[in-house]
């Protein structure tokens, strides 16, 4: 008989986590390089990027015993990255810099970088660490959009999985009924 707690964890295998880690590393670099040390936005941006990454990790770990917690934490990750996205948009807007159109040549180039397998900050390092702040902000915006797209897909999948498989209590009940049926079958 199978147990009722499914395999969980494995966040390292999630594309959303991979992208969120890139967003965190890039944001950390961006804030160190382009924002003043005393600027509160600097800390808030790093914390929003960290929250996006860490909540995916925590959701993955919680998934074995609470689908509700998993869904809530993935949503918190998504919300944190949306907050970070607005910080980058603000950075560009208040400086009079152009935000790239999603179909611009530059945005398409960055998106194409993200299609490679096993991407990491290293995939983007040469572009992030050698370009002016407006370009770097736009690069990170593109990666945040990719990450948010993946998180939206993940939330839809979690919803479908919950509707078809239920949560922990339903799995516990099914497992208990199966164990009872098996033990009754042994006595007949």
Render pLDDT for 61-84 as a digit per residue (tens, 0 to 9).
887 767 888 899 999 999 999 999
3-state secondary structure labels for all residues of the chain: CCCCCCCCCCHHHCHHHHHHHHHHHHHHHHHHHHCCCCCHHHHHHHHHHHHHHHHHHHHHHHCCCCHHHHHHHHHHHHHHHHHHHHHHHHHHHHCCCCCCCCCCHHHHHHHHHHCCCCCCHHHHHHHHCCCCHHHHHHHHHHHHHHHHHHHHHHHHHHHHHHHHHCCHHHHHHHHHHHHHHHHHHHHC
Greater pLDDT, 183 or 137: 137
Evaluate if residue 1 carries a pLDDT over 50: no
User: What's the pLDDT score for residue 8?
Assistant: 55
Q: Which residues contact 69 (CB under 8 A, 6 or more apart)?
A: 59, 62, 63
Evaluate if residue 146 carries a pLDDT over 90: yes
Decide if 1 is inside a domain. no
Across 57-61, 77-81, 120-124, 143-147, least confident range: 57-61
Q: Are 52 and 23 in contact (CB under 8 A)?
A: yes
Mean pLDDT taken over the chain: 89
Q: What is the mean pLDDT of residues 150-171?
A: 80
Q: What is the mean pLDDT of residues 13-17?
A: 93
Decide if 93 is inside a domain. yes
Decide if 166 is inside a domain. yes
User: What's the pLDDT score for residue 87?
Assistant: 98
Decide if 48 is inside a domain. yes
Question: What is the domain range of residue 67?
Answer: 11-187
Decide if 28 is inside a domain. yes
Decide if 2 is inside a domain. no
Q: What is the mean pLDDT of residues 110-122?
A: 92
Q: Which residues contact 159 (CB under 8 A, 6 or more apart)?
A: 71
What is the number of domains present in the chain? 1
Give percent above pLDDT 70 in the chain. 86
- The first and second tokens of residue 47, run together, are 């914390």
């Amino acid at each position: 008989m199978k147990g009722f707690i499914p395999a969980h964890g494995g966040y390292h295998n999630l594309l959303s986590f991979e992208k969120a880690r890139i967003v965190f590393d890039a944001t950390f670099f961006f804030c160190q390089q382009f924002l003043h040390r005393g600027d509160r936005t600097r800390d808030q941006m790093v914390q929003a990027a960290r929250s996006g990454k860490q909540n995916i990790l925590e959701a993955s770990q919680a998934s074995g015993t609470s689908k509700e917690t998993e869904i809530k934490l993935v949503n918190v990750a998504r919300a944190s990255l949306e907050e970070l996205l607005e910080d980058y948009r603000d950075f560009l807007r208040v400086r009079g810099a152009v935000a790239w159109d999603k179909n611009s040549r530059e945005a398409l180039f960055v998106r194409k970088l993200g299609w490679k397998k096993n991407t990491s900050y290293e995939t983007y390092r040469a572009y992030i660490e050698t370009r002016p702040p407006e370009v770097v902000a736009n690069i990170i915006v593109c990666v945040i959009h990719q990450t948010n797209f993946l998180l939206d897909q993940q939330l839809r999948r979690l919803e479908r999985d919950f509707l078809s498989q239920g949560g922990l209590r339903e799995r516990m009940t099914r497992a208990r009924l199966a164990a009872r049926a098996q033990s009754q079958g042994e006595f007949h």
